[in-house]
Each structure stands twice: as structure tokens, then as C-alpha cells.
Structure 1
Amino acid sequence: MVQYSLSTPIEYLKGVGPQRGDVIKKELGVFCYVDLLNYFPFRYVDRTRFYKIRDLTADLQQVQVLGRIVSKEVIGDKRAKRLVAQFKDDTGVIELVWFQSLKWIDKVIQVGSVYIAFSKPNEFNGRISMSHPEIELYDPSSKKAGNLTLQPVYNSTEKLKQFSLDTKGIQKVQFSLLELILNQVEEILPGYLLEKHKLISRRQAYQFIHFPANQSDLAQAQFRLKFEELFFIQLKLLRNKLLQTAKFKGAVFANVGQKFNTFYNELLPFELTNAQKKVIKEIRTNTQNGVQMNRLIQGDVGSGKTAVALMSMLLAIDNDFQACMMAPTEILAQQHYQSITSLVLADFINVEILTGSTPAKKRRTLLAKLLSGGIDILIGTHALIEDVVQFKNLGLVVIDEQHRFGVEQRAKLWKKNIIPPHVLVMTATPIPRTLAMTLYGDLDVSVIDELPAGRKPIQTLHLYESQRLRMFGFMKQEIDKGRQIYVVYPLIKESEKLDLLHLEAGAEHIAKVFPLPKYRISVVHGKMPVKDKEYEMQRFVRGETHIMVATTVIEVGVNVPNASVMIIENSERFGLSQLHQLRGRVGRGAEQSFCVLMSGNKLSREAKIRIETMVRTNDGFEISEIDMQLRGPGNIEGTQQSGTLDLKLADLANDQAILQEARESVIKIFEDDPQLANPKNQLLAAYFMTKHDGIGWNKIS
């Protein structure tokens, strides 16, 4: 007898074979039995009930009706023939209509027989009918999936359909697989977890997810498989965190010394918010226990992350360590350099900047000074990770907008000292809580959720194209008050494919409405030479120009407190996260700031939700949650590169409660049994080591 296992190649399954096997591999990425088992339906057609004819309406989706065909006839001429059957139950009569394969259908259906008709009801001239219904002779004793079940619907492709692998074809293949292999599906969660979380067995879950008899079966299967998926992600992340704590000793910042105290008491020009104080306290606790810190700071634009980072770096300096700060772009690195040097005096600490454009002579001097310990804080771009950049004693690494750096790039900074430096990661892109738990579950997370005192919330307005003159009038009022304005476009040049306003035409139009010599305009976009871009930006920073016309290049890296208005053209074309980031370019001074969202008159449902959300709230975390609901977690900026999000069934936007339940369960397990050595956790340890052999018990991803 042939032995099959979950790893058997797909072509050996009955009904597949070599040709179908090849197309399944190419189109679906399904190579063996277990891959097919985990190829889940994306929706289900509800065939658990029969509708009565009197209850049918055109707004219903596909429904099934049990009735008798009382007559049939082919009507119309050669060009417009159709087969019409009168279909009757005890509440009324409707027409079933076919326009194709008339001879075959006429031959198959029998007047006087009872059928299940399945289709979407349509309304024409006040009468309900069904076009091209699936029709099945009714057999009350049949156990076929078509009668009173939830029918799975699988994604297919044109190539698959050429091999009769539409959703019905995939159903048949899945049915064959389950009959053959279901008894080989082994349990991977221990009994105490099944009992605690009221989970059905793994075998039942696979049976019910593919062929549920009812909504209750489906719900139980989905909960079990989602819990399992999220549970093992959390097990991996939290296990890595435990390993990191055990393996990587960290520099001990035992003292809060003269630099930190002098800066806090004498040089800091503003009062820290309670949120900033809380985060600094968390960092202080992290860095004095001899274990390497890995902490993520989330904070909206303008929440004061840079001040927290600087005070953390002063803590390192007070303990005879150096610090560095890495930013994704030269503009942002320059901004951090200017911001930090404006807060500390030149003779207080030594701060330098290193980027790709640092001249060779200055670079050599700087590198020698860094190695001798003459530089306290080095700010820079990717240039910091080059092998030639060597520190005397690096104790703290600050990484800004970390999603723009890969794991390998960050790891190079860890190797800049014998004792790995503490790592502080910052992001101004608020991350939904569920996403943070999944992407950064192995990091400690701090949130700065207050804005500094005196900051006024940005007022956001939505104007249509027909209100453009009103917008121009508002711009002139603000310029007359001495303020500056950003105007952001999604495109540089006109596109034939997209009927959008673009920067070149927009700049010309604005130059006509705001003519020289009274008004001066800067134009900045990503395809300009770096020197030209920098020149135009600096003109705007110095207040020499009133309006900056730009693409999203200014999303990160320009800090102009006098700029009080952000106008976003074609705002319906931007994602929520990007709109929020752009809005954060204003509101940096004490004056009231405004964001104007310009759009066309026709808006999609999603565009309306995005714009209404922006007008209603300035809360970046609320915005990020709505953004994830609209776009899905895989499209949130930077996260699509993460293998962590390769989810088969769970949905971080809608399964927050399951994720929380799974994470809390993992935390409790590791509190009681950090090595998973207890016999009751044998299943977890065995599955984890098999499934995550790239991580292992003694490695860190």
C-alpha cells in the first residue's frame, strides 16, 4: 500500500497528476499536501438554508431556492434565444433564465422534478428572476456538500481554470486530500491550552475550515487556526527576547551624572511632558541592569522624541560611553544635527555628523577623532555602518524611522563594540497596537502620547476643486500675517494615466496667482540634484520664500516653525499615514496651523473615510488603526518586507482580541517554564524547533 505524508508532492494526489500539479505549483505556490491543506477559502457561500420565493429581493447575494419546474420553453430569435423555466414553491413562482448552452440545459432539466436553484436574484419590470442559476436535482437523502452547507470559495486564476481548477475544481481536490490525509494531522498545542482557550482539535479545525456544516463549525475552526498562527508568532518573538536577555550583556549606565543633570536643569529650553519623563525613566531602568536594551519609541510628529534621544545619549556620555544616531536620509540627519547642536553648547559635548557627502579630508579627521574618543555623539546616515567607522566605546545606538533600515544594517551597529550597545529605535509613524505586538514583539515599546505644552492642535479642512479660489485667498491671508506655506503634489510631471494635478503645472499656476516681487516660491522634488534641493529648502527655512511647492520629499526632514499651512493637492490619492505625516510638517510653532486637503468632486468610499478621519482627529494612533482597517497590515509603511506578517488566516486589523489572548498565554508559559522543559510543553518545544529551525534555541534572528 502506498504511504502518503503531509510532505508528499502535490502531483501524487488523486485528481491532480503532473500537469495539474505543475500549474498548481506555479499559480498558487502549493508544492505538497500540507501546502494545499493550508490553502484556505477566502469566503463561503451560505447554502445552509433555503429561501422562499416570496422572500427574494434584488439586494440579496447568491441564494438557493427549493422548488419544482412546472414548465420550460425556448423563446426569442436566433440572435437572442433564451431558455425560460417557471420555478414554483409554496409561496410563488419565478423565472429561471439561461442564455447559453440552451440545448444541454433543455435536455438536462425535467418538468415536474424538484430542484435546488442557486443564483443571485435579479429584478426586471418589477419581477424577480434568476439568470444562469446552478441547478441540482433535489435528493433529501444526499450528503453532498451542495445541500445545506457553507460552500468554500477558493481564489483561482485563468490558468488554473484552463485545467478545470476553478473554485469547484479546488473543492474536489481539497475533499480528496482531507479524506486521504486528515488522520495524519497531529496536534501541536498541549491539552491544557486547548481546554483553557476552548479550542477544537487541529484535525477538526482543518475539516471545518474547508467544509463547514454551519456557521458555528466555521467560527470554531477560524478561532482555533488564527489562535495557533498568532500564538507561534508570539512564541518566536518572546523566545528571541528571552534569548537576547540571556545572551547579550549590556553596558551598565550606573550614573546619572553632570552632563545629564546640567542639561536637564540649565540647558533644556522647555518643560518635558509627563510622557517624555516616563519614557526616560524606562530607558534609565533598562540601561542599569546589565542587559542590552532594545526599546522602540513611538511618538507622533512633534511629540519630542529627539529630546528623549538626546537625554538618553547624555546618560551614555555620563558613563564614559559614546552614542550615535542613524537617520535614513541626509536631510533628516542634518535636521537631527542642527536640532541637537542648538540644544547643547559646543563646549558642553562634542557632536559631529557623518554622511555620504562628507568631504574625504574631513572624514579622515572625524574617524580618527571618533576612535580616540574625541567625539561624544556621531549623527549620520547609512555611512555609520561602514567598517571604517570605529568607536572607542560605543554604548548607545539611536535609530530614527527604523522601518527604513534592514535587520542586517542594524546588526552592523551592534558589532561596533565588544559589549553590544543599547539600541533605541524611534518612529514618527504611529503603529497600531496589534502590529507593534507582531512586528516588534521582541522589543520593549514606549509611547509618547502627549504634545509639548503650548502646541495648538492643527485645524484640518477639506476643500473641493471648485473651492480653489477660497484656498488662494486663505493662503494670502496667512502670508500677510508673516507665515509660510507648503503645497504638496503627488506627481512631478503630467501623467497620461493619472488625471492628477502635478507639480510643474501647479507651480506655474501658483506663480501666476502669487507673482513676484511680493511673493517668492521654492520648488522642491526628489529628482532634483541634492545641492539644488538643499538650496531651495534652506531658502524656505531662512524665510526667504513664502511658499514651498513640493512632492512628498518633504514628508520627512524639514522643520520650519514659521510654516503654518500645509496644502495637500489630490489628497484622495494619499494614504492616511502619509497624509498624517505631511500634516505634521506644520504646527511646530506657537501659532495656529492649518492643513487643507484639496480633492476632486468624486471620491471613493475609502477616500471619503480617509479625508473625514483627517478632518476629525489629530491622534496618530487612532489614524493608524483606521489606516490598517482600510489597507490591511501588510501595506502599512515598511511592514510588507517583514516575514512576520506572512499570515495565512489571521488578520491583525480584525483579530486584535485573539492576538492579545495568544500573547498573554505565551507570556504566562515563559514565566513558568522559560526553557519549555516541562513535559506538559513538550509538544510546543518539538513543533517550535521543527518549524523554526532557522531560529533555534541558541540563535537570534
Structure 2
Amino acid sequence: MTNKSNYEYLLSDLTELNGVGIKTTNLLKRKKINNIFDLLWKLPKSYTDRSLSTNIKDLRIGENQTITIIPKKYLFPRVRNLPNRVSCFDETGEIDCIFFNSYEGYVRKILPLGKEITVSGKIAFYRNKYQLTNPKYVSEDSSLIKQKHNTYSLTEGISEKIYNKIINQIISNLPILKEWHSKNILDKFDNINWNEAIIELHKSENIGKYQDNFYQRLAFDEIFSTFLVNSEIRKKIKKIKKKNKSLNRKKQTNILNKLEFYLTNDQKKTLEEINQDLSSSNKMFRLLQGDVGSGKTIVSLIAAYNTVNSGFQVALMAPTEILARQHYNFAKKLFSKEINIELISGKSDYKTKKIILNKLENNNIDIIFGTHAIFQKKINFKNLGLIIIDEQHKFGVNQRKRLSDKGGKNCDVLLMTATPIPRTLTMTMYGDMDLSIIREKPKSRKPIKTYSKLESKIDDVIKFIKKEIQLGNQIFWVCPLIEESKKIDHSSAVKKFEYLNKLFPNQVSLLHGKTDKEDKEIILDNFLKKKFKILVSTTIIEVGIDFPNANVIIIENANKFGLSQLHQLRGRVGRGNKDSACILMFKSNLSDNAKKRINILKESNDGFYISEEDMKIRGFGDILGFKQSGIKNFKLADPIHNNDLFLLAEKEIKRIENNNEDIGRFKPLIKLYDRADIINDIA
């Protein structure tokens, strides 16, 4: 047993294990297995039952079998590269054990003549005789072999035998960890402790038993550790006391009256939640989540307007320059000359930038629009009171924490995302933030009609878009992103452009991953200004940009995409007042899952419902944008299948917060699940 009696043993380097040297450690590190704890989550995918011994006469060819034999003769050839052979027998027959690339001394050692030896491996038959080539398991002690051996997804260069040996060593040396959960929580899992749960997790007979108490307990630990860290970040942010903003409700009403539409109930509710945060003495750290076209931008701009009228500056950051410009133009139209608005752009010359930076520093700009360049060190604000970040789904917890710190204590933070996700996933990804959701779509927003079409019927699609172009409308034509080969992706878009350009000369443009950033902005701007009718693109069409005149999107090989991604792409149209259509094109012979995805999209325009269905079909790691979020750190937990565990974790966190409990007892949990860097000063 190890001298380390607590969780520190589990965080030790792999070289602490017997028989694990630098070579094996490096092989494991390539698979992101950096310490002993990481190895615990490489779960067996199946097992080989070597517990039953067979007589030679009853052997089954091509199967892994266990036999007890007596070696009677060595056949060591003088010719190099020929295998060493050991003739063996039992009371029912004979078998040869064949060894490639093995020394005579090794063979003599493991198969001594005249002794009973138990061997296990795959049985072959050659020249009327049974053979066992390079047997994996050989021992005089049959109890070491006659057991169930787990099969793992192996790292190249590490044999199954060595891998099992390493895992078994860790399991037998598991330290006894002091329980961190309350009695109430443990009761939910039949009082199984962490050590027992890990041991059960690695037993051959428990493979795939996701509903059993050991699995549920460990999945809960993962979820709870995330919630715990989010809770601590939330508490730290709430402790920051800021100068509250005094809101001018009359001015807000005047601006709302200028709009050509009424806010939905969800928009009103969300705006009120943000206003309460702004006027509070606690710092706002809020996520505004809404489906495509639900009207998040107007809510954020009213919040910006209220902040400016309280004497503070606002910075609004968008992922692309064209989207930043679109927000800037909308704000300019909305606020006319009431407040000072500027756009800082990569295209701005040095002199213009210098003037803008000087104005910001002297409080002569109320709202500044731009990309992430707004937060460069050289940009200084006189009195920044609100940071708004649009389309922030690529920001992880650590980045959000740094952003919150950067704004200063009087600066509120509002993040926006148009990627609707189920509540369980929201609780995990954004648990450090307060949440506002806009589900309701404006009444003026017409649902997009979605059709599916075989690729062989492309002539029908061409006829349809000809009519749309005659009516003065514009079209997106999206070619599939095939991650494995960007070359294929690139060439498919080019070929489609060439094909459409012959049919619609001088009315088609092309956008793909190799398009220069500046050219991309120009192409999108020209499409916005209706200088051409069809934009052939890969999936790099930016989320959030409004092209009110584009009312048709054609998505080729629609079965290559997940539901959430198809829904986001579909959201590029239907932003004006015209009827819009999305045409999903596919080859024949669709899989059942592909048919399911296409049917769900045809039935619904609700992004939240669609993303939940997407998770059920694909698994949560593949949803658009979440790979960057770190959410895939979960080894066992799943936001759909473990919905009850997420709700239980949320309830327990609220109980701990309400009772103001000391979280020192959770130190091992937080350290083990690699979340300690965020709250590294934990007791």
C-alpha cells in the first residue's frame, strides 16, 4: 500500500507506479493521461473471461481460451526470423505454443519442461494441429490467469496485460478518502463511498451499468464539483461592491416608443432583470441566452443606453467586424444624436484610431463598438460601466473570470449567446453567472419553412431559386464542412460556385475557410448591399449577422451536420418580413439518425427543443461550439441522461449557500476534478 494516505497519491505522476517508466508515461500522456487519477477514467469497454479452463480436445478455433498444459519439447530453429516452438500436451491432446521475436531463455523460463502451466490466448489450427501464438497470459499459478480480464481502448505501445496490471495496481492502492458529501446525499446512492464506487466501476461485470449506484455517485461528483466552483466564483463576484447605476425610466420609455415594434414579454422580463442588476450595488455577471431572431440585441442596447444615462461608458464586443458594424449602425439609428457612439475597426487608419482612443480616455465616447480588440491593454476607458459581449459561446469559465476582473469593480458584464441549450447544460457551462432567457420570438418574425430534397432533384431547387431571384430575394448556398478534410470542403464549395455561376452569371460569390479575413468582410458587406444574389459558402457564415434580404438557405449534405448546427445555419434567413425557406439536401440511403434529425428540423423552429433532441441523438460533446467550452471534461456525467443528478446538485449547492457552510471539506473533490485553479485559494 502507498505511504500517501489521501488524494495526493491520485494526483501523483504516473512514474510513481511500479513498472511504469518514462516510455510508458509518455505514451499515456499522449492520450492526456497525466496522473494516476486520469487513468481511473479509462474504463473497460469489454472483457475476456479466462476463468474457465478447457481441455485441448474441446478448443474452439479463433476464440480466446484458457488451458492447462505440460511443455514436453523445445524446437528452436537455427534459421533467423523463424519462430520458436514449444510442443505441449494434456491428457486429451497436443498443442504448439509459437513465439515470434522471443529469446530462447525467455521461452525456457515461462514454459519449463514437465511442469503444469496455465496459458491463455487466441486458438489457431495449422497442419492438423492446434496452435497458440504469442500467448498473452502464461503462469504456473493458474489463479493469476483464471479470471476476467478487462479489455481497454489501448494506447499504442501498451499491451492489454500491462494495462490491466497498471489499473489493478491503482485499484489495490486506492487511498481511503474522507467523505465530502452530506448524509442526505449519500442516502441517494445507497451510502456507497468514493473508493467502493471506483472499485465497482472497474469490475468486468459492471460494464455499461450506468444506472447503478456506483456510476451515479461518481457522475454526481463530477457535476457537483463543477457547480461548487461556479458557486464560489459567483460568491466572489457578488462580494464586489460597485457604484449602482441610477436608471432614468422616462428616457427608456421614450426610446422604446421610437421602436417600430413592441418588445415581447420575454424581452421585457429580461430587460427588467438586467436593470435590477445595473441599479444594484452588486456587480452584474449575467448571460442573456436566446434563440436566433429572439431579439437579444435590442435588449442589450437599451441596457447600454440606461448605463450611459447613469454617467458610465459602455463597450460592445462582437465576434466579427461586420457584426460590430451592424450593431453600431442600428444603435446610431436608434439613439440618433442623443449619445456619442463610435466604431473601432481594423480598417480604421492610425490617425482615426488615435482620435477614438483619446476620446475614450477623456469620456467623450458613450458607447464603443468593435471586435475583441476593444480589450487590448492600450485601450483605456475613463469610466467603463458595462461590457457587452455578443456570441460568447467560445468563452470558458477562466476567460469569463478574467473578463469580469478586467472591467473594474464598477463595471457590469453582460454576455449574449444565440446557441440555445438545455437547462442542465446551461447550469454547468454558465453556473458562475446569472441567467436570462428569451424563448419567445417577436410576432413579426415568421417561422422558416423547412424542406428536404434529394440531391438528384437539384433541378427543382434551381427552378425555385430562379423564381426567388426574380422576386428580388437573395440565397445562401451552404456546402458541408467535413472536418477530416478541409481540402474536400474547400473544393466542394468551389465546384458549386462554378456550377451556379454558369447558371447565374455575375450573380454568385464564394466564401470559404481559405478566404482572406479582409476579403471575407468585403464579400459579406457586398452581399448585404445586394451586389450579388447567391452566396456559396462553407459553414463559416457568421452567427448573428442580419441579411434581411436573404430569405432562402440551401444546405447540401444536410445529414453531415448536427441538429443544432443546422438550426443555427437556418437562422441566417427569415430576418426580414418575407416568407423564408430552408432546403436540406441529402443523398439517398440516409441513416435512421439522419432521418430523425431532418424530421425534427422540419417539425420545429424552437432552438431549445432542437438542441435537446440533438443531445439525445449525438451526445453532448458534439454540440456546436461546446467543444471549446471545456464541458467535455465530464468523464461519466451526461446532461440529458443524468438530468436528475444535475437538479440534485443544484439543490445541494443552494442548501450549502443558504446555510453559508464552509466548503473546506470539498477540497479533495475540487482538487481531484481539476477545478482548483479557478478558486485556488480555497480553504
| Superposition deviation, residue 303 in structure 1 | 0.6
Indicate conservation of the 8 Å contact 1:72/1:84, yes or no. Answer: no
2:157 aligned to 150, 156, 159, which one? 159
Q: Could you say which residue in structure 1 is the equivalent of 2:529? A: 542
Please show how residues 653-692 of structure 1 align to structure 2 within 5 Å. Answer: 653-676=640-663, 683-684=665-666, 688=670
Deviations 1:145-166 (A, max 9, x none): 966x7x64322123102xxxx1
Distance 1:410 1:649 in 2: 25
**How far did residue 600 of structure 1 move?**
2.4
User: Contact conserved, 1:385 with 1:409, CA < 8 A, in 2?
Assistant: no
Distance 1:143 1:189, change over 3 A: farther
- Residue 599 (structure 1) aligned to one of 575, 581, 586: 586
Secondary structure of 2:167's aligned partner: helix
How far the C-alpha of 1:480 sits from its partner, in A, is 2.6
Q: Aligned-pair distance for 1:20? A: 7.0
Partner Cα distance (2:63, 2:618) in 1: 44
Q: How does the TM-score come out when normalised to structure 2?
A: 0.80
One-letter amino acid of the counterpart of residue 222, structure 2? E
Among candidates 341, 346, 360, match of residue 332 of structure 2? 341
Residue type of the partner of 1:237?
N
User: How far did 1:482 drift?
Assistant: 2.7
8 Å Cα contact 2:394/2:629 also seen in 1 = no
- Give the 3-state SS of the residue equivalent to 2:541 in structure 1: helix
1:211 aligned partner: 203
**Deviations for 1:239-280, whole angstroms, at most 9, x for unmatched residues?**
21112111x223412323443121012x11101111111111
Assess, with a 3 A threshold, how the Cα gap between structure 1 residues 571 and 355 changes in structure 2: closer, same or farther. same
Mapping of residues 115-514 of structure 1, within 5 Å: 152-161=150-159, 166=160, 168-179=161-172, 181-182=173-174, 184-195=176-187, 197-211=189-203, 219-246=212-239, 248-265=240-257, 267-345=258-336, 347-405=337-395, 414=404, 418-490=408-480, 498=488, 502-514=492-504
Q: Give 2:634's aligned residue.
A: 647
Distance (whole Å) between structure 2 residues aligned to residue 416 and residue 13 of structure 1: 43
CA contact under 8 A between 1:332 and 1:558: conserved in structure 2? yes
- Once residues 211 and 43 of structure 2 are traced to their aligned partners in structure 1, the CA distance between those partners, rounded to angstroms, is 11
- Corresponding position of 2:569: 582
Give the residue type in structure 2 aligned to 1:385. Answer: F
- 1:618-629 alignment, distance < 5 Å: 618-629=605-616
Stretches of structure 1 that go unaligned for 5 or more consecutive residues are 48-63, 75-81, 86-100, 112-117, 121-130, 137-141, 677-681
Query: Letter of the aligned partner of 1:289 in structure 2?
Result: S
Deviates more, 1:380-389 or 1:442-451: 380-389
Conserved? CA contact 2:563–2:597, under 8 Å: yes
Deviation track 1:296-346 (CA, whole Å, cap 9, x = no partner) reads 11111111010110111111122111211001111111111122223232x
- 2:510 maps to what in 1? 523
Deviation of the 1:467 alpha carbon? 0.4
Give the C-alpha shift of residue 364 in structure 1: 2.1
| 2-structure distance, mates of 1:573, 1:331 | 28
| Alignment check: 8 A CA contact 2:27 2:156 kept | no
Gaps of 5+ in 2: 65-82, 94-119, 123-131
Query: How far does residue 390 in structure 1 lie from its aligned partner after superposition?
Result: 2.2
| 1:509 CA drift (Å) | 1.4
User: Measured at CA, do residues 262 and 469 of structure 1 come closer, stay the same or move farther in structure 2, by a change above 3 Å?
Assistant: same
TM-superposed CA distance for 1:68, in Å, is 8.2
Deviating more after overlay: 456-465 vs 151-160 = 151-160
Secondary structure (helix, strand or coil) at the match of 1:554 reads: coil
Three-state SS of the structure 2 residue aligned to 1:402 is coil
Mark the CA change 1:227 to 1:44 in structure 2 (over 3 Å): closer, same or farther: farther
**In the TM superposition, what whole-angstrom CA distance separates every residue of 1:551-577 from its partner, at most 9, and x where no partner exists?**
333233542222211012232333333
What letter corresponds to residue 155 of structure 1 in structure 2? S
The AA in structure 2 aligned to 1:160 is I
**What is the DSSP-based 3-state SS (H/G/I as helix, E as strand, rest coil) of the residue aligned with 1:334?**
helix
Quote how far apart the aligned CAs of 1:12 are: 5.4
| Correspondences of 1:537-576 after superposition (within 5 Å) | 537-556=524-543, 558-576=545-563
Going from structure 1 to structure 2, the CA distance change for 1:154 and 1:465 (only over 3 Å counts) comes to same
- Rounded Cα–Cα distance in structure 1 between residues aligned with 2:402 and 2:246: 26
Is 1:18–2:18 an aligned residue pair?
Answer: no
Return closer, same or farther for 1:472/1:291 CA change in 2, 3 Å cut-off. same
Alpha-carbon distance in structure 2 between the residues aligned to 1:685 and 1:68? 51
Residue equivalent to 2:70: none
Describe the superposition over 1:565-613 as per-residue Cα deviations: whole angstroms up to 9, x where unpaired: 1012232333333322221111112221001112223444544443333
Residues 337-388 of structure 1: CA deviation (Å, up to 9, x unaligned): 122223232x222221112222222222222222332222111112211233
Amino acid at match of 2:152: Y
CA distance in 2, matches of 1:295, 1:576: 27
Q: CA RMSD in A?
A: 4.3
Are the equivalent residues in 2 in contact too, given 1:305–1:426 (CA < 8 A)?
A: yes
Distance 1:586 1:198 in 2: 52
Output the TM-score relative to the length of structure 1: 0.78
Closer, same or farther in 2 for the Cα pair 1:699/1:243, shift >3 Å? farther
Task: Tell me the equivalent position of 1:694.
Answer: 677
Give the aligned partner of residue 69 of structure 2. Answer: none
Amino acid at match of 1:41: L
Shift in alpha-carbon separation, 1:478–1:528, aligned structure 2, 3 A = same
What is the alpha-carbon distance in structure 2 between the residues aligned to residue 535 and residue 323 of structure 1? 27
SS in 2 for 1:184: coil
| Cα 1:675/1:192, change in 2 over 3 Å | same
Shift of 1:400: 0.5
Structure 1: distance between partners of 2:313 and 2:382: 8
How far off is 1:210 after superposition?
1.3
Identity %: 36
Instruction: Give distance in 1, aligned partners of 2:212 and 2:255.
Output: 57
Would the alpha carbon gap of residues 620 and 158 (structure 1) be closer, same or farther in structure 2, given more than 3 Å must change? same
User: In the superposition, relative to structure 1, how do residues 135 and 328 fare at CA in structure 2: closer, same or farther (>3 Å)?
Assistant: closer
CA contact (8 A) 2:189 2:216 kept: no
- TM-aligned CA distance change 1:30 to 1:367, over 3 Å: closer
Match of 1:98 in 2: none
CA offsets 1:474-514 (integer angstroms, 9 cap, x no match): 1112223332211122479xx89748872222122112223
2:454–2:588 Cα contact (<8 Å) kept: yes
| SS across alignment from 1:503 | helix
The 1:606–1:659 alpha-carbon spacing in structure 2 relative to 1, beyond 3 Å, is: same
Q: Deviations for 1:438-476, whole angstroms, at most 9, x for unmatched residues?
A: 111111111111111022211111112110001111111
- Matches of 1:393 and 1:457 in 2, distance apart? 42
The Cα offsets for residues 84-112 of structure 1, whole Å up to 9 and x where unpaired, read as 99xxxxxxxxxxxxxxx9x989846947x
Matched-pair contact (CA < 8 Å) for 1:394–1:416? no
SS at match of 2:451: strand
Per the alignment, do residues 340 and 699 of structure 1 end up closer, same or farther by CA in structure 2, a change over 3 Å counting? farther
> Aligned partners of 2:401 and 2:345: how far apart in 1?
19
Aligned to 2:45: 43
What is the CA–CA distance in structure 2 between the aligned matches of 1:72 and 1:211, rounded to whole Å?
Answer: 28
What is the letter of the counterpart of residue 21 of structure 2? Answer: P
Task: Give, as a single letter, the amino acid of the residue that structure 2 aligns with 1:173.
Answer: I
